[in-house]
Every structure is written in structure tokens, then in C-alpha cells.
Amino acid sequence: MFSLEIVTLARLLVDEARERSLRIVTAESCTGGLVAGAICQVAGASDVFERGFVTYSNRAKQELLGIPGDLIADLGAVSEPVARMMAEGALENSNAHVAVAITGVAGPGGGTPMKPVGTVHIATARSNHGLQHRLEFFELNERIDIQLAAVQSALEMLRDRMT
């Protein structure tokens, strides 16, 4: 299901998290659990993968991750503050040490001039190490290609947070 590059990144992530005794949590919107799926494809992922939140709807983001409805209404679900709060909320609602959150427009519809299809916000949080954010613009034609590009970027960011 996943490319060799994604599988390799996931395997390295699991190994590095195990070496550092870190647990991982995911909070996903536009990728619908694909990051969690990539991690869980690795044998032994249960040593480090704590849980995953698929918060596709705005209501789920509010109920499961504590994102204020006013923030979503004002800035939209696809925004840096929402991605950052998703990562923080995932950490707060789990026993993990490192979180990744993804929110974006995977298409083919739903894009706007300000947030075109392929716009993806990824945030990582690590206990006592703050937050990091990355804005990606994936210029790809297919929904699954945008989603998989976001998965790869998220795994890379998670690996960066291991050190």
C-alpha cells in the first residue's frame, strides 16, 4: 500500500522512537489515518505507537482534541493554528511524548484561491520541546498522491523530533 520510501521512513521512526523510549500519537484530518497506518505497518510498532486520532470533521477536532470552534470558524480547519492545536491536543489526550497533526485540502474539490488543493499544514509537538509547523503545497493531481506526500512529510518531521 505504501511506497518503499514511506515504509523505510516509518521503520526508521519506530526504531528511533524505541531507542529513545518515546511514544507517538497522530492527529489526522485530510490523511484519514494514513500516517498511523504507515507506522503500524512496521512490525513492533506497538512498542512506540500510543494511538491515533482521525479528526476529519470540525466537530471531531473540537471534541477529541479540544480545538475551539471559534478558531476553526475564524481561520478554517486548514490553518497553522489549528494544526498546532491538533498536535498539542493529541499530546494532552494521550500518554505519548511526540505528536504529529495534519490538516489540509486533498481535493479534488474544496480548494479556494487562499487555500488551493494541495495545501497541507503539518505540526509536530514533543513534550517539553515545543511545537514545529510546516506548510506544504503539493502540486499533484490525485487525492491519494497529495495524501501520501503529506504522510511522507509527516514521517520526516516526526523523525526530526526524535533528536
Q: What is the pLDDT of residues 61-115, one digit of tens each?
A: 999 999 999 999 999 999 999 999 999 999 999 999 999 999 999 999 999 999 9
Residue 145 has pLDDT above 90, yes or no: yes
Give the three cell numbers for residue 160. 526530526
pLDDT at 163 over 90: no
Radius of gyration of the chain (CA): 15
In this prediction, residue 162 carries a pLDDT of 92
Q: What is the pLDDT of residue 154?
A: 98
Compute the C-alpha angle 105/137/107, nearest 5°: 25
What are the tens digits of pLDDT across the range 8-67?
999 999 999 999 999 999 999 999 999 999 999 999 999 999 999 999 999 999 999 999
Burial of 109 (0-12, 13-18, 19+ CB in 10 A): exposed
**Count of positions (residues) in the chain:** 163
- pTM, to two decimals: 0.97
User: What is d(CA 163, CA 153) in angstroms, rounded to the nearest whole number?
Assistant: 17
Between CA 75 and CA 32 the distance in angstroms is 21
Torsion of CA 90, 37, 24, 116, to 10 degrees: -50
**Average per-residue pLDDT for the chain:** 97
Listed in sequence order, the residues at least 6 apart from 63 whose beta carbon sits closer than 8 Å to its beta carbon are: none
Q: Is the model's pLDDT at 1 over the cut of 90? A: no
- pLDDT at site 65: 98
C-alpha distances in angstroms, 141 versus 4, 30, 56, 149? Answer: 21, 15, 21, 12
Contact 75, 121 (CB under 8 A): no
Supply 26's cell numbers.
497522530
Q: pLDDT tier at 126 (50, 70, 90 boundaries)?
A: very high
